[in-house]
Amino acid sequence: MLTTNVSPISVIVPAAGIGSRMAAATAKQYLTLGSQTVIAHTLELLVNHPRIESVIVALHPQDQQFTHLSIANHPKITCVVGGDERVDSVLNGLATLTDDQWVMVHDAARPCLTHTDIDKLLATIDEPSAHGAILAKPAIDTMKQIQRGSRSIDTTIDRETLWHALTPQLFSAHSLQHAIEQAQQQNLTITDEASAMEYAGYRVQLVQGQASNIKITLPEDLALAEFYLTQQGRLS
């Protein structure tokens, strides 16, 4: 069992990607929603949560936009250089933390997260077998599996046991760093922080999050994010 010391809570925000699927000249975290960028909305939500002490933003080495954002000067925010892959950015962020800290990793392109979901995630720390937890939502559509390299349906998968992984994902800094480094040594594919913890033998808990916690990936996601932020009263 990991220590249940809940203070301090830090957040790592990988923001070194270019978001090629957006088909935009600007990285998706710097696209605008109302009067602010996507990442500004995300960071504003995080720094205003009372349990979060620090937010570490992992930036592309050639990023020239972040320092121009007003949120960049917030006292809770520090920056590190991001890596070639998301997991490298997370490791660079973990290197700034102490072993006994709990850390959440959250996508820069998920600006519609709510404090309610953060609270639900943090509540898992006090559970006796706490090894970490992630926000997730159950699959509601019929799920089809195709053969690799093909668009032909191979089979229909029972969706009752399928969940979509969301962020934040919450673990102890020491355990997460160890799990990632171990997975890398074994050349395992790390798709998210939970996958590294799974490889290391930890049982990661799912906490059902709100469907509004979307990741902005495609151009049409911007309009949906604007709708959700307006519904939350965060976008006028």
Q: Is the separation of the CB atoms in 93 and 177 below 8 Å? A: no
Neighbours of 21 (CB within 10 A): 12
- Tokens standing for 217? 């990936």
CB atoms within 10 A of CB 116: 10
Q: Is residue 218 part of a domain?
A: yes
CA 205 – CA 223 distance, rounded (Å) = 31
Q: Is residue 2 part of a domain?
A: no
1 occurs within a structural domain: no
- Look at residue 21 and tell me if it is in a domain: yes
Q: Which two tokens stand for residue 204?
A: 């990661």
Q: Is residue 82 part of a domain?
A: yes
CATH number, domain at 77?
3.90.550.10
Residue 57 lies inside a defined structural domain of this protein: yes
Task: Judge whether 201 lies within some domain.
Answer: yes
Q: How many domains does the chain have?
A: 1
State which residues form the domain around 131: 9-231
Pair 71, 78: CB distance under 8 Å: no
What is the full per-residue pLDDT of the chain (236 aa) written as tens digits? 344 445 679 999 999 987 555 555 789 999 999 999 999 999 999 999 999 999 999 999 999 999 999 999 999 999 999 999 999 999 999 999 988 899 999 999 999 999 999 999 999 998 877 789 999 999 999 999 998 888 889 899 989 889 999 999 999 999 999 999 999 999 999 999 999 999 999 999 999 999 999 999 999 999 999 999 999 999 86
Strand partners, 13: 57
Is 236 contained in some domain?
no
